[in-house]
Amino acid sequence: MTTSLTVDLDDSTPPYEQIRRGIVTRVASGSLLAGDRLPAIRALAADLGVAVNTVARAYRELEEAGIVTTRRGAGTRISEGFDTADLPTGSGLDPAVETYAAEVVATARDRGLPLAQLVVAVRDAIER
């Protein structure tokens, strides 16, 4: 797994989030399955060239979301019993939100509305 997981230190996305997203993406695509063991925190940190706490935070967030389970002596494994359709997307968005946004953008395009203004209008609506 570590060979396909990377962290881009020049990316504005925090490294722990890049790790979390990478694992979520692999679970959603089926390249990581329920019961698969993830690398030990220290080993993954060394492979990726990041601090141990960075990987620990990513694993902790994955555990809080129910995507992984950590047991002393057994390591961190992909959890059993959740539907991959319920996973956030690689971007971290709820799939329902991402689908709705795609529909709104498609409708705006069909009507010839400027997408840049759509972004501003959504931000303004959120702030109200």
Report the chain (128 residues): mean pLDDT per 10 consecutive residues.
Answer: 78 92 87 94 96 97 92 92 67 68 86 88 84
Contact 78, 38 (CB under 8 A): yes
Which pLDDT belongs to residue 8?
93
pTM of the model: 0.67
SS3 70: strand
Which pLDDT belongs to residue 2?
46
Between CA 68 and CA 23 the distance in angstroms is 10
Contact 55, 45 (CB under 8 A): yes
Which pLDDT belongs to residue 105?
86
Which pLDDT belongs to residue 97?
73
Contact 19, 55 (CB under 8 A): yes
Q: Phi and psi of 37, rounded to 5°? A: -90, 135
